[in-house]
Structure 1
């Protein structure tokens, strides 16, 4: 029997791939960010996707806040344009 979580993950997989590729490419514009990792936190019916970026040592919190806002706004628009708003609702960006 397929669970709701399994169904959710299968439905989100194409959006996850598209989103992950785009956020990784967009983050390359910022010298203050290093490698990205993605983690999944499952719940009963859905899961949350965390996109976590390494920070370059010495980067101020103010600069990181600006970068976070820019990436978040960009990915929100990207998600709208590509019809993956549902995935965006279950994703988080950590710097």
Structure 2
């Protein structure tokens, strides 16, 4: 499955596969610590699970996480701004 293409262009089978994969995802809290040892980057997750990766993977993942986090924050701010700009229909109904 090519997740780099727009989600609305995924086939029905790819959409179903993506839904199954997302349902299995787990929320990730703040890492407890990150360290380097023997040329590998180690991350201890909030749940105590430790994962390791090569330095180039850590750099790429860090950049991807930064970009996705920024996009998510911008989307949240935009959604909040839209909600504030929408007229309150309940006020008009009570007049």
TM-score (norm 2): 0.31
Q: Which has the higher contact order (CA 8 A, sep 6+)?
A: 1
TM-score (norm 1): 0.31
